Structure 1
């Protein structure tokens, strides 16, 4: 089956589209990457998202408008991916949508909201669409995240030692071979917020870690940030920009005087590296497979490697999945599993009572014609 996976993460800067041929062969799911494209949100959508995300507050009319605008952006990305990567022969679209709120209280997730109405994607492409992946796991008592954990488990199975998958987006998450998976804390969320605040909105992020590289870590600020209770919660756990946002950063800086922007960025970059490294030590990682936008920050990766002597830190590119598009490929896999009636979660990873078939289906132009249910779930993912 030829599937297009669509993803926009907690950095909310673009829609990533990845196309793959997927086939069940014995106990393996074979994935052949066909390529990936990234479509940046236009200024109208990005500014509306910034206003709507915590700690912002907007009326329901604005949420309705965003649902449409994001759905149209995802539809455009899917159309382009089908034309340029699939020669117009895609059979299914799997859309994560754009997370705008993840409702967590006292370690329990109560709900989640992803915008990007899938009807726009189905109408533009004519293809059936799997969307709304997270709510089913939450209804089963899970965290609804990190959903890529099942894909990571299948993909890394059989590698020597203790390989741990690490995705650094706005929030960083990890998956270990025993199924332990959780959000470690901020990936780029706070550094992006700082870059945006200090530049008056001119910069969306610290490009290449250039600002952090010119600064020095402020130890009192780092200790204040590391006192965040989230870091001491047991796994499985999940977080998002409901916690780590611009207001959180302003509160952390209160009373610290006027720190140079470069020092703040250096400290926040160190915070991300320290919280990830702490998780890796707890998991006894012997190898870290990185992906996500944060991998484009060499300062962050150098800091992380320095905190993990003797642990190989490498990119998912080396294993056949482009680091910038790995999550989009992962959702293509999850969409394929749903279409074949197979569960897309590992309960130990999300804390759910049981594994679940994920998502809701929107029919394509020809109605909803699903393949026969698969006889058994795959035990490994092979990238061809």
Structure 2
């Protein structure tokens, strides 16, 4: 089955669409990446999103407008991906949507909201759409994140040692397979969120992010500021735990900087970059990880990856590209897998990772232009996943990943 996975993360800079061919062979799910397209949000829509996200206030009218405009934007990218990557033969679209609020408090998640109305995608593509993945896990007592943990477990199962997967988006999350214990997954804390906030605020809005780690590379870590940031109680909460820009936003950084007037912008960016590396390392070290397989836009920041290597002394750090799964497309591919599982009536969460009461079939199904016919579920859910290269190993016509500069993908 050819599936298009749609994703926009907590950096809300672009919509990524990854196409994959998914088949089950002898109880193993085989994923063949077909390519990726990435389209940035236009400036007006991104500004509307930024103006509505926490800690800003908003109105139901704004939510309605954004739900519609984001849905239309996702629909445009889905049409493009189907045409360019699948030759117009996609059978399913799986849309994560755009997270605008993750209601966490009192050591639990009460609710979560992803916008981008799937009806627009179904109408534009004619394809069946699976969307709204996180809410069912939350309703079952889970954190609703990181949902990619199930895909990570299937993919990493059988690797030697204690493998761990890391995604560095606006927020960083890990999935770890400890020896002899239950798998665990959680958000470690900020990925690019505070780096982006520092780059934006300290350059007067001239920069939206630290392209190529240039600012951090020119600065020095300010240890007193780093110690203040590391005092954040979130880092001491037990797993499973999740967070977002409801906590790690520009106002959070401004409050942390009080009393540190006059710090060079480069030093602040270097410090929050070290914060991301330190909190990732502090999270995986107690779990005995022997290798960390990284993906997401943060892998394109060479200063951040150098700091990770420094903090993770003795732990092998590699990117998912080395295992055949493009790091920029991994999350979109993961939601393609989750959509495939939902359509086949199979659970898409890992309860030990999200904290849910049990396995649940995730999401809602929006029919396309044809009568909805669900495929039969396999006798058993696939327990493992392998990534298989395209036979010709060449990109399909129109494939591109350069809608934004490489260093800017987050």
TM-score class normalised by the smaller sequence: over 0.9
* 1:37 and 2:37 aligned: yes
Q: TM-score, normalised by structure 2?
A: 0.93
- Unpaired runs of at least 5, structure 1: none
In structure 2, the residue matched to 1:122 is: 122
Distance 1:375 1:5 in 2: 25
Displacement after TM superposition at 1:363 (Å)? 0.6
Distance 1:61 1:196 in 2: 28
Moved over 4 A (4+): none
* Secondary structure of 1:114's aligned partner: strand
Contact 1:39 1:77 in 2 (8 A): yes
Distance 1:302 1:236 in 2: 27
Displacement after TM superposition at 1:282 (Å)? 1.4
User: 1:288-338, CA deviations, whole angstroms, 9 ceiling, x for partnerless residues?
Assistant: 100001001110100110111121100000001100010000000000000
Distance 1:224 1:65 in 2: 39
Distance 1:347 1:168 in 2: 22
Displacement after TM superposition at 1:199 (Å)? 2.0
Q: TM-score, normalised by structure 1?
A: 0.99
* 1:309 and 2:313 aligned: yes
Distance 2:265 2:106 in 1: 33
User: 1:166-214, CA deviations, whole angstroms, 9 ceiling, x for partnerless residues?
Assistant: 0000000000114200000000000101111122222110001100111
* 1:213 and 2:225 aligned: no
* Secondary structure of 1:32's aligned partner: strand
Matches within 5 A, 1:357-372: 357-372=361-376
* 1:327 and 2:334 aligned: no
* 1:348 and 2:352 aligned: yes
* Secondary structure of 1:16's aligned partner: strand
Displacement after TM superposition at 1:230 (Å)? 0.2
* Secondary structure of 2:347's aligned partner: coil
Matches within 5 A, 1:131-146: 131-146=131-146
In structure 2, the residue matched to 1:72 is: 72
User: 1:17-48, CA deviations, whole angstroms, 9 ceiling, x for partnerless residues?
Assistant: 00011011121001111001101000011101
Distance 1:8 1:305 in 2: 27
Contact 2:5 2:333 in 1 (8 A): yes
* Structure 1 counterpart of 2:183, from 156, 174, 179: 179
User: 1:45-91, CA deviations, whole angstroms, 9 ceiling, x for partnerless residues?
Assistant: 11011111111111111111110111011101100000000000000
Matches within 5 A, 1:22-61: 22-61=22-61
Distance 2:353 2:347 in 1: 13
- Unpaired runs of at least 5, structure 2: 389-410
Distance 2:380 2:205 in 1: 50
Question: Alignment RMSD, CA only?
Answer: 0.7
Displacement after TM superposition at 1:369 (Å)? 1.6
In structure 2, the residue matched to 1:241 is: 245
